[in-house]
A and B are shown apart, each in its own frame.
Chain A
Amino acid sequence: MACQGLQKGETLESLKRESETLKKKLEEERNKLNDVELHQVAEKVEVLSALSIKTRRVLKGHGNKVLCMDWCKDKRRMVSSSQDGKVIVWDAFTLNKEHGVPLPCTWVLACAYAPLSGLDNKCSVIPLSLDKNENLAAKKKSVAMHTNYVSGCSFTNSDMQLLTSSGDGTCALWDVESGQLLQSFHGHTADVLSLDLAPSETGNTFVSGGCDMKANVWDMRSGQNIQSFESHESDINCVKYYPSGDAFASASDDATCRFYDLRADREVAVYQKDSIIFGASTCDFSLSGRLLFAGYNDYTINVWDVLKGTRATILFGHENRVSRVRVSPDGTALGSASWDSTLRVSWSFSTGSNYIFRFIKLLFWVNSRLVLEFTVAF
């Protein structure tokens, strides 16, 4: 294909003109169906009551920036990777560290938990590595081989396959057992920074976002780019599917998060504020999809009301950039990892609070700090 000569009547200019007219036609088609904005449709929805999401646990133990974290399907364990070359598995209830895996490479950008419990405790880490053929240890496998760093990875529903995104501009689907490349996805013109699989059990699409400011939706079986969205003004750092699978959100260096609907084939909401000038590096939806948690480089996590387009609340606490936010699989808690080498777990207490409990807690605090810690652990 690369060496084909010009077809009859075809020139570079004519192809360029054709692509321009096609782009315009695409815009027109999309705009025809843009009859109303999402926040207008959501006007009748009740405004969110004041959220009481706060950091309840701080996990310390990494020696350097925490770059990535993920929840285990058992809803209690978390895995995190850090610049000090370690991958740690935490128990969020006891705050114990269950495993610590040292890796030879320092920039571990992505980690994911294998979904099936049969692969108990196996977390697969794809390190930033140019040593493609390095066999790390008996348990660890070098599965994905890209020509550049691997920025994101995700196990597919079947657990036997791994999807990776890379700085070489491609995404690839690998068989975990044999390490074979099953499908590759070309279309981005710059580094691909993030990918997310469609949530449905039978789904076979995924979305990827990259430094070319585009978010592409791909068919996993054919390798075809089905849809493409280009409205961000800077690198897209993270993409995440809406829980129903009909839409996705993206977080970008242009300090905005955007919400795209797949069936309407366009952007339907932009989450931005004049006071937010730092890029967003990560985003995740709550279980119902009403809240979008986005971690920013100004050390905060902004929580957006997805339907109304307004900010619901803001979470402080991290002392450096937030590198990853993830909602736990059953939606009860939010885990966040940061360059300040800590992880924080936050959840919300219902506002119909128990005053008697509060009073007892106050008594304990007055008595001694040890007793308070016992109560907090409960």
Chain B
Amino acid sequence: MTTVFFEYTSTFNLGEWSLNSPLKYSSKRLFYEDIFSPKTITNNMTSNSNLSNMRRLVEQLKLEASVERIKVSQAAAELQQYCLQNAGKDALLVGVPTGSNPFREPRSCAIV
């Protein structure tokens, strides 16, 4: 089975990414390449490569199914704990002193 994809170029505006692509897995290459270089992508799927792909997929799924998981409640609790522990150090949350520049070299002040 041979599937041929044609990249359309004439209606393609380099500045905008068209969401009306008929391809399910749209290639972002369209987005980045020069619009004046039309290309044809050919996807040759022979029965052999289909088979090996399926085999690989099955192996992969078996591997993923055997992953050890913990409960969402426990995972969420730990994420929350990390957030709260570090919230004090988060300068975007608490802020830097008004009017100061966070990029200034910190000068040390000695209290006499």
> Which residues in A have some Cβ–Cβ distance to B below 8 Å?
1-4, 6, 12, 15-16, 18-19, 22-23, 25-26, 29-30, 33-38, 41-42, 45, 48, 51-53, 75-76, 92-93, 107, 109, 128, 148-149, 151, 167, 187, 189-191, 193, 211-212, 224-228, 235, 242-244, 246-247, 253, 261, 263-266, 268, 286-291, 306-307, 327, 330-334, 347-351, 353-354, 357-358, 361, 375, 377-378
Contact = CB atoms under 8 A, between A and B. Distances in A.
Contacts of A327: 92
B79 A361 contact: no
B67 interface: yes
Given A2-B49, A12-B51, A15-B55, A290 B65 contact: no
Contacts of B78: 244, 246
A113 B91 CA distance: 22
Nearest to A189: B25
Q: Interface centre among B76, B85, B89, by most A CB within 10 Å?
A: B76
B86 interface: yes
Nearest to B71: A33
A348 B93 contact: yes
Interface in B53-84: 54-55, 57-58, 60-65, 67, 69-80, 82-84
Nearest to A264: B75
A12 B54 contact: yes
Contact of A331 (B28, B60, B92): B92
Nearest to A75: B103
Contact of A243 (B82, B94, B100): B82
A349 B67 contact: no
By size class, the interface of chain B is 35 or more
Interface string B15-46: 00001000001111100100000000000000
12 contacts: A51-B92, A191-B29, A212-B25, A246-B75, A247-B79, A268-B76, A286-B92, A287-B90, A289-B79, A291-B93, A348-B91, A378-B101
A45 to B, nearest CB: 6
B11 interface: no
Given A26-B64, A93-B104, A1 B52 contact: yes
A42 B61 CA distance: 32
A93 B60 CA distance: 49
B95 A350 contact: yes
Nearest to B15: A339
Contacts of B97: 349-350, 354
A22 B91 contact: no
B13 interface: no
B73 to A, nearest CB: 5
Given A148-B29, A261-B75, A29 B65 contact: yes
A350 B92 contact: no
Enumerate the 3 nearest inter-chain pairs by beta-carbon distance, A residue then B residue, closest first.
A350-B95, A93-B103, A288-B86
A264 B95 contact: no
Contacts of B94: 348, 350
B96 A354 contact: no
B108 interface: no
Nearest to A6: B51
